[in-house]
């Protein structure tokens, strides 16, 4: 069960999906929904990244990329319009 309200999660995922390139080469990309859930878990636990267990580096790297790309600012603006 997700810890984020479904409308908020949908708004954030829409912002994320608009930034992802259509054609992707290399290893399969991690599921944005699963990454977002793990970010939410980290926010609620207030723990260090490594408390997420295996794959925490993927979550951290994705968070860094999304922050640099302005995903969270765009998602916040979208959530405010709900």
Look at residue 1 and tell me if it is in a domain: no
- Residue 49's domain spans which residues? 6-20+29-80
Residue-wise pLDDT tens digits, 46-65: 889 888 888 899 899 988 98
The pTM of this model reads 0.72
Residue 52: name the closest of 68, 30, 37 by CA. Answer: 37
Residue-wise pLDDT tens digits, 38-48: 888 888 888 89
Q: Are 11 and 79 spatial neighbours (Cβ–Cβ below 8 Å)? A: yes
Structure tokens at 34: 């699963």
| Cα separation of the two ends of the chain | 22
What confidence score (pLDDT) does residue 7 get? 74
What confidence score (pLDDT) does residue 1 get? 42
Residue 79: name the closest of 6, 5, 2, 11 by CA. Answer: 11
Overall domain count for the chain? 1
State the average pLDDT over residues 5-24. 70
């Amino acid at each position: 069960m997700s810890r984020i309200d479904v409308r908020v999660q949908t708004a954030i995922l829409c912002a994320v999906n608009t930034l992802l390139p259509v054609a992707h080469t290399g290893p399969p990309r991690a599921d944005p929904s699963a990454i977002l859930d793990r970010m939410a878990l980290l926010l609620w636990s207030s723990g260090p990244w490594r408390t997420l267990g295996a794959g925490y580096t993927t979550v951290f790297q994705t968070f860094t990329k999304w922050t640099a790309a302005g995903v969270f600012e765009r998602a916040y603006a979208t959530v405010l319009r709900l």
